Structures are given as C-alpha cells and as structure tokens.
Structure 1
Amino acid sequence: MQDFRIKLKEIYLPFVVVSICTILFYNLFRWVFDIRLGVIPLKEELLDIWIPFIIPVLPVLIWLRRPIRILKLKDTDRGRSGIRALMIFAIVAPIVISQQYIKKAAFDLVTLENASEIKSHGAEKYFKINNFRVNKDARVDYATARTSGKRNDRLNFFLYLACPFKNAENIWYGVEYNESTGNTGTTTQQNAWFSNFLNYSERNFASYYFQDVSYFEKVGYSDDWDGYMQAIKNANPNAAETQQIILIPKTDEFEERFGDTLLWVFGSFGIGLLVILLLILYSKIDEKALRDFKANKPLKDDDLRAVLNFLNPLGSNGGTAILIFVNIGVFVVMIFSGISFVSPTGTELLDLGGLRKTEVVQGEYWRLFTSIFIHFGFIHLFMNMVGLVFGAILLESILGRIKLILSFIACGVLAGLASIVVHEHTISVGASGAIFGLYGLILAFTVFRIYTIRTRALTWGLLVLYAGVSLVTGFLSDGVDNAAHVGGLLSGFVLGVLLIAFDKENLIKKAG
C-alpha cells in the first residue's frame, strides 16, 4: 500500500495534472489566437494534427522525466522511453480529437438570402443560403498529386473544382475529388492512373447536383484552400487571395456536425489515464532512485541535458548543431510560408529553391546550394537529420567545426551536380546528398586507417547500415534521387583522400 501511495503521489498525479494543463493550454491557445483573433499564419492541418503531436513532448520531458526514474524496470532505458512515449500519446490523442470540436463549436449557423451577403459576415464559418445559383460553365480547376505515408508509399490524387456563385463576386462553390493508391509502378503507369482519376471525376461532375446541400462551410487556410486558390489563379493570375471566399457544401444537418467528437475526447483521455495507471501500478519502486529523487540529487545520466549539450552551437559538436538548426530553421520558414508539413508539391519546392536542370542551365546556379536545406516534408527532414547526426559526430572531432560545415556544403553541391547530369526533369531537394558526402569522408578515413581499430569496426557497421542500405533501397524504389546519393558519396570520398594526402598525421592524431 505504501508503494501504491508513492507511485500515485509522485508519478501518476503529476502526470494527470500535466496532461490536463497541456490539453487546456493548447485548446485555449488555439481558440484565442487562431479561431478568434486569426493571428496564427499556419495551416489547419498543422494546427489540428502535427503541433498537437509536438506540444506534449516538452511537458513530459521537463516535469515527468525525474519521477519516472523511481520505477524499477527490466530494461531501464527502453522502459523509460516507452513510458514517456505512452504518456505523450495519452496527451496527444485528446488534443488532436478536440481540435475538431473547438473549430465547430466556435461558430453558429448564419442564414442568408443570397451568397453575396457572406461578405458582411467575414468572421463566420457556416452559412445556410436560401437562394443561390451557380455558374457551372465558368468553373475553374486544378489537379495535383501528393505522396504520403512513412516512406511515401501512398500516392494521392486531387482535383479541385471551383464554380462562381451568380451575382456574388469572388465567392465560389467548391467541389473536391480525391483518390489514393499505392505509390508503385512506373512513371507511365502512374500517369495513366492519374488520367483515369481525372476522367472519372469529370464524368461525376457532369451530373453534379449543386442544390443538394444543407449548409455551407467556408474553407479555412489549408491544403484544400491552396488547391482551390490555384484553380482560381489558373483562370485569373491577378486574383487577390484575401478577397476570395470558397464554400463547400455539407449534406448533414448542422446540429449533427459534432457527431461523437466530445465523447471521443473524454474517452481517449480516460483510456490513456487508465493505461498509464495500470503500467505504473504494475512496476516496482527503485528504492535508491526514490531516495535520490526525494533528495533532489542531480541526475547522472540526464537524457534531456545530454541532448541540450549536444545541440549547443558553441559546444564540442557545434558544427553538427549548426547544420541541424539551419535545416530545421529553413523547414520552419517553409511551414510559415504555407508549404505542406507532410508532402509539398514539386512546384512549391521549385519556387522555394529546389534543384532542377532546366533552371540551373538558365543560370540559377544558386539552386545547387539552396536545395541542400529544403526538405520534402517532416519525415524527409527527420530521416536526414538522423543520418546527419550519426555521420557528423564521427567527423567533427577530426575536421573541426568549420571544415565539417564546408565539407557538408561542398558535397551537397557536387551531389546536386550529379543529380542534374543524370536527371533531366527531376526536382531534387534535401540534405541526403551532402550527408552521403560525409559518409564518403568516413569511408576514406576508414579505408586509409585514419580512425583507430576500435572506431573502424563502428564505421564499417555504420557505412553498411546507413549508406549501403540506403543506396540499395534507393535503387529498388521510385522517387529516390540515387544520383545525388552516389555523387555525394564519391565526392566525400575524394575529398577525404585529398585531406589525407595533405594532412594525414594530424588527422590520425585528432582521430586518436
């Protein structure tokens, strides 16, 4: 019973408090600054899903990492990581679900006689229009494809059709068609699938009944908004985005818009609380860790402090930290500029500074540099940063901060050159070519025995697991720029050989 009280007081109740405060904080923040004031320039997909996945991480790591340590676990590191992950997910689930509820609860249904009256209700979201007509013949459209999934294994087709309301300038009736399939097959096959999707959508739209609507929902800032706006701008490039209003029809009753959302919010939170409670009750207490916790002794192996020290730009891994921050910083800027968090389009990437042969041949050589720091969504960025960390920590102690960064950039540029030589029309982005360059340096230092015998065993394993597997996977998969990978690896190896030729003894000394 004593152990139960300790676990309840020191772990479970703090978790409950942290969970409730985090959920309330984000929902209140979203309600005030996004829904009411509209001052957050981020897309709905990011605010609905991705930020809620990130928000709980800090509270759990800051306030709960010490209490978790009083539990005696079989596999200490994995056990603690597993409990932290479960705690984070127990907070994430109700936050994500609640976003749909607060967005719908924030607005009432406004009844209008005609569509033109909407402009006098700019802050509202839901409308019932008693009399409206749509000019189907003046429709505009935009079709695109995006990939999704952990390994971009899904191919998603979208067709956005916008028809103007009659006697209502800049107000559009939006219709969307979408289809998802496996991201397999050749480029020719995928083009055929896309063509079939467009043909099917056009046939369906030909018999579309515009009056089959209970009420309208105004499209917010989202990927769908971008799709409709691109359709409008295809017909009128000078159309002002801030003046356009896009309405999508809803066929259910307005009172039923919540469904079981609120029940799922509390249900998911309750399930999370129960799982954490059972997990804590099942675990035993580490008496020594409990005494240290009550005495508030500093942690000997503090994961959070270790990460912060690693990411210190002025620390021993400063070059690695700078490269990580630059890549993440560019990605954050991309998100604030409206680029999709998960799957940007090729046009978006090209506009930001992505690499393609046509533009480079026309004199835009700067793309060889900018494309290194642009990534195709969060997963692409995350995977590249993992590869960067493992490669850079084996090089920075030998090369130093400045040489590491310069080597990264040089290999990235050479990898880009390899890409445009091989690929005529491919849009290439990402740090992977530069990272493969770092692994080329590691390969040179391993082959020519710059590293110690013990370190060489590690580098051979890392080269096989990361570089080798990545190259094989790239050759077997579509959509991977293996030319940049091979070009980066070779350029890094050559650079390593040159460094060894001019400064071998000093490199060996630093590697030791």
Structure 2
Amino acid sequence: MNNIKTKLQEVYIPFLIVSIGTILSYNIFRWTLDIKLGILPLKENLLNFWIPFALPWIPILIWLRRRIRILNVRGKRDNGYFGYQFAMAAAMAVPIIISQNYIEKGSFDLNEISSISKVKELKNEKYFKISSFNIDHNSSLPYVTARTSGRNNDNLNFYLYLACPFEETSSIWYGVEYKKNLSNRINEQRKNSEYRTFLNKSEQEFKTYNFQDVEYFERLGYSDDRDGFIEAIKERNANLNEKEQIILIPKNDVFEERLGNSFSWIFGSFGIGALVLLVMVVIPKIDEKELNDFKKNKPIKEDDLKDMLGFLNPMGENKATAILLLLNIIIFLIMTFDGLNIVSPTPKELLEIGGNRRIEVMNGEYWRLFSSMFIHGGLLHLFMNLIGLGLGSSLLENILGSVKLIITYIVCGILASLASIYWHENTVSVGSSGAIFGLYGLILAFTVFKIYPNYMRGMTWMLLGLYAGVSLLFGFLGGIDNAAHFGGLISGFVIGGILILTNKEQLKKNAS
C-alpha cells in the first residue's frame, strides 16, 4: 500500500496537476490572444493541432521525465520510460486539440444581418445569417493548387478555390471550394489525367451552383484555405490589401449543432488518458535507488535529452554541427510561424520565400542558390535532413575543423543548387540535402583514400549506403531533386580529393 501511495504522490498526482495546468494555460492563451484580442498571427492549423501536439512535451521533459524514473519499468527503449512520456503527452494533447474546436466555434454567436455590407461593421464576429444577398457569378476568380499529405506524402490533394464577389460591396467574397484526393504514388501521366478530370468536373458543378442554398456564413480565419482564396483574388488585383479581404464560406448545418459533442469529449478524452496513466503507474514496482536519487535531487546518470541538447550547443565540442542544425531548425520555425504550411507547402510558397528555380536565378536573383539551402518543404523533409546532417557533419568536424566544415557545407550547397537549375528548367528546389550530400562526398573520399582508420571505414560505408544510397534510390522514383544530390556528392568528393592531395597526413592524424 505504501508503494502505491508513493507512486501516486510522486508520479500520478504531479501528472494530473501538470496536465490540467497545461490544458488550461493553452486554452486561456488561445482565447485571450487569438479569439478575444485577435493579435496572434498564427495559422489555424498551428493553433488547432501542431502547437497542442508539441506543447505537452515541454512540461513532461521539464517536470515529469525525472519522476517516471522511480518506476521500475523494463523496455527496449530507454527502459520503457519513453512509453510513459508518450502516454502522458497523448493524454494532454488530445483534449487540447478537441478543445480548440470548441473554443474556436463556441466563442462566437450567430449575427443576423440584413445586408452583406454589415459584415464589415462586425469585425470581431465569425458567423452571419444574411437575409438578402446577390452574387456576381460571372466575375468569379479561380485559383488551383496541390498539396501532399500522409505519413510519407502518400496522398496528393487538388484544390480549386473560387472567390465570388458579392454585389454592391467590395472586399467581401463568397468562397466556393472543390477538392480531390488521390494517391501520390501513381505515375505522372495518371496524375495529369486526374487533374484535368478534377478541373472539368468542378467547372461543370460550379455552373449550376446554388449560391442561395446556405443557412449561415462563416468568416474564414488565417488558414491555408483563406490563402487559396486570396491567391484567386490577387490574379486580377495584384495590389490589393490582403488583410481587408473577407472570405465567407457557406454552411448548411444547423448553427446550434456546430459544436457536436466536443465539450463532453474534452473531459472524456482526458479521463480516458488519466485512467490509462493510472494503470501504468500502479502496475510496476518502485525502483528504490531511483527514488532515493530523486529525493536527493541527483541528476539522471544516462540522460539522452542532456546529450542531445549538448549536441546542439554551439559552444560545445561540435560547434559547426550545432550551428548548422540550429540554423535549419530556426529558419524552419520562422517560416512556419510566418504562415508556411508545416507539412506540405506549395512550390509557389517555397519560391516566394527563397526557393531555387532557373528563371529567377538567371534573372539576377543569385541569392536563391544560397537561401534555398535552409528552406525545407515540410516537417518530414526537415527531420530527415537533420538526421543526415547530424550524422555526416559529426564524422567530419574533428577532421576538418569547424570553420572548414561550414565553408565546405556552403560551397557544396551552392554547387548543388547550380546543378539543380542546370538539370531542371521549371522545378522549385529547396532543402539542405544538396549540401549534406556534399558532406557525404567528403566522407566517401576520406573512406576511399583511407583517411579514416580501419575500424571506422566499415561504419562510414554503411552510413553512405543507408543515407546517401537510399536517398538517391528514392530520388529515381520521383519527387526528389537528385540533380542537387549528385551535384553535392560530386562536389564534396572533389573537395575531399583536393584536401587529401594537399594535407593528407594531417587529415589522417585528425581522424585517428
């Protein structure tokens, strides 16, 4: 009984306190700054999913991670403790995500107005029931785009946004959206056929669209859909003020039923998560040594988190590796909080923030050869490149030194960008993989010419096969810029050869 009491006091009750505090804090933060004051310049997908998904890990890593260690858990990964952290994160994230739907919809009433012009007067409102309105059907403005989705970008999604102007007013638009989902693994010919079919079908449906079949309107917030309608409007109004544009989406459901069961599921999902955690905490025995260390405030002996943070320390042993990793992470965060889709930004979006394409570079925008090295086409793209960069640069920094490693990375990245625009006429290329392949070109040269000691060459060959070989193979299957990969790899190998010719003995000494 004392063991159960200790586990409840030291693990479970702190989890409940931290969880409830995290859930309440984020909802108050969201309601105050976004719903009430409207001063939070973040897209809805970030506020509704990605921040709630990531946020719980902060209090878990700060306050709960050490407490879990008092449980005598056995497992393959970190003695099973990661499973507890994941369960805690899920128990917090799910109710936070559900509560965003409730807050976003439940914080606004339905405003019944007589004319569309009244919408401008109700700047802080979201829902409108308009007694009379007319649409200029012939002045509708289209915009078509595509995004990938799924765990491995398995899905291809086509979107057609039609911004239709209301009569007798400006800057207020009736939004009509069509979309189609298909597999991203089909060949290009099939994709083009599906795309044309989608456009033709949508066009035919729009010809008979009933604009008056609407129960109420919802004003679109800052989102990818709103960006799509804004792009449609900008096709004919290049200098318009985007913030002043109001996009109204027709709704046909009953307004009072818009929340569904979301309120009860906030508490229900948290209750389920808390019950699962209770069982997980009660079942294992207590690790007496860890409990004593915890009470004495001793740090964890083998702390993977501490090691990872040390690896990202620009003042630590691997300065250049840390700097390059942090640059890629920080720039991705800035881009995301600036409105770029975190999963699948479009080529147009990537080009606008510094992506690499032949026509722009040939017209004098040479900076794109450099800027594109730090831009990534989604979270998965960034994650895979961070792994490749961390592994590759850690094998080179002690041999080259921090300054030479950064210079080599940049030179190879620029040469990879040049290879990309030479090979591709109209492809928007982004990502650090060209520069990373340059580092692997150096590793290849140092392996072939035996700069690395014998005991390391087996590992370098395996790494080259797993990362570089697999990446190139997937590049041949489509969707990856292999021109940049080969450009970086060859550049790195040539640079490595030059370094070996000029300073082989010193390189071997550093490697040993």
- TM-score normalised by structure 2 residue count: 0.97
Amino acid at match of 2:507: L
Residue number in structure 2 paired with 1:6: 6
Structure 2 Cα separation of the partners of residues 157 and 390 of structure 1: 36
Residue number in structure 1 paired with 2:418: 417
Amino acid at match of 1:424: E
Amino acid at match of 1:213: V
Amino acid at match of 1:262: F
Greater Cα shift, 15-24 or 67-76: 67-76
Per the TM alignment, residue 360 of structure 1 is displaced from its structure 2 partner at its CA by 2.0
Partner deviation per Cα, 1:430-468 (whole Å, 9 max, x = no partner): 001111111111111122222222222222221111111
| Gap regions ≥5 residues in structure 1 | none
Partner deviation per Cα, 1:381-432 (whole Å, 9 max, x = no partner): 1111111111111111111111111111111111112212221211110001
Residue number in structure 1 paired with 2:36: 36
Amino acid at match of 1:156: N
Structure 1 Cα separation of the partners of residues 453 and 94 of structure 2: 48
Residue number in structure 1 paired with 2:472: 471
Structure 1 Cα separation of the partners of residues 393 and 71 of structure 2: 35
Residue number in structure 1 paired with 2:65: 65
Structure 2 Cα separation of the partners of residues 115 and 109 of structure 1: 14
Residue number in structure 2 paired with 1:508: 508
Residue number in structure 2 paired with 1:145: 146
Matches for 1:18-97 after TM superposition, within 5 Å? 18-75=18-75, 77=78, 79-97=80-98
Secondary structure at the residue paired with 2:160? strand
Per the TM alignment, residue 144 of structure 1 is displaced from its structure 2 partner at its CA by 0.8
Residue number in structure 2 paired with 1:98: 99
- Tell whether 2:363 aligns with 1:362: yes
Residue number in structure 2 paired with 1:426: 427
Residue number in structure 1 paired with 2:454: 453
**Number of aligned residues:** 511
Greater Cα shift, 303-312 or 256-265: 303-312
- Tell whether 2:436 aligns with 1:443: no
Structure 2 Cα separation of the partners of residues 271 and 318 of structure 1: 45
- TM-score normalised by structure 1 residue count: 0.97
Matches for 1:218-367 after TM superposition, within 5 Å? 218-367=219-368
Residue number in structure 1 paired with 2:166: 165
Per the TM alignment, residue 303 of structure 1 is displaced from its structure 2 partner at its CA by 2.5
Structure 1 Cα separation of the partners of residues 216 and 486 of structure 2: 55
Matches for 1:198-217 after TM superposition, within 5 Å? 198-217=199-218
Structure 2 Cα separation of the partners of residues 366 and 506 of structure 1: 35
Structure 2 vs 1, CA of residues 78 and 132 (structure 1 numbering), >3 Å: closer, same or farther?
A: farther
Structure 2 Cα separation of the partners of residues 81 and 507 of structure 1: 40
Secondary structure at the residue paired with 2:235? helix
Secondary structure at the residue paired with 1:442? helix
Structure 2 Cα separation of the partners of residues 427 and 506 of structure 1: 40
Partner deviation per Cα, 1:344-402 (whole Å, 9 max, x = no partner): 11111112111112222223222111110111012211111111111111111111111
Amino acid at match of 1:178: K
Structure 1 Cα separation of the partners of residues 253 and 164 of structure 2: 22
Secondary structure at the residue paired with 1:123? coil
User: RMSD between aligned alpha carbons?
Assistant: 1.4
Amino acid at match of 2:14: P
Residue number in structure 1 paired with 2:181: 180
- Tell whether 2:117 aligns with 1:122: no
| Gap regions ≥5 residues in structure 2 | none
- Tell whether 2:122 aligns with 1:111: no
Structure 2 Cα separation of the partners of residues 454 and 22 of structure 1: 48
Structure 1 Cα separation of the partners of residues 41 and 431 of structure 2: 25
Structure 1 Cα separation of the partners of residues 453 and 26 of structure 2: 50
Per the TM alignment, residue 332 of structure 1 is displaced from its structure 2 partner at its CA by 2.2
Structure 2 vs 1, CA of residues 78 and 426 (structure 1 numbering), >3 Å: closer, same or farther?
A: farther
Structure 2 Cα separation of the partners of residues 470 and 238 of structure 1: 42
- Tell whether 2:487 aligns with 1:487: yes
Structure 2 Cα separation of the partners of residues 193 and 500 of structure 1: 52
Structure 1 Cα separation of the partners of residues 361 and 428 of structure 2: 11
Structure 2 Cα separation of the partners of residues 107 and 25 of structure 1: 21
Per the TM alignment, residue 78 of structure 1 is displaced from its structure 2 partner at its CA by 5.1
Structure 1 Cα separation of the partners of residues 13 and 453 of structure 2: 50
Structure 1 Cα separation of the partners of residues 437 and 271 of structure 2: 46
Per the TM alignment, residue 235 of structure 1 is displaced from its structure 2 partner at its CA by 2.1
Residue number in structure 1 paired with 2:16: 16
Moved over 4 A (4+): none
Amino acid at match of 1:500: I
Structure 1 Cα separation of the partners of residues 167 and 136 of structure 2: 6
Q: Percent identity?
A: 57
Secondary structure at the residue paired with 2:266? helix
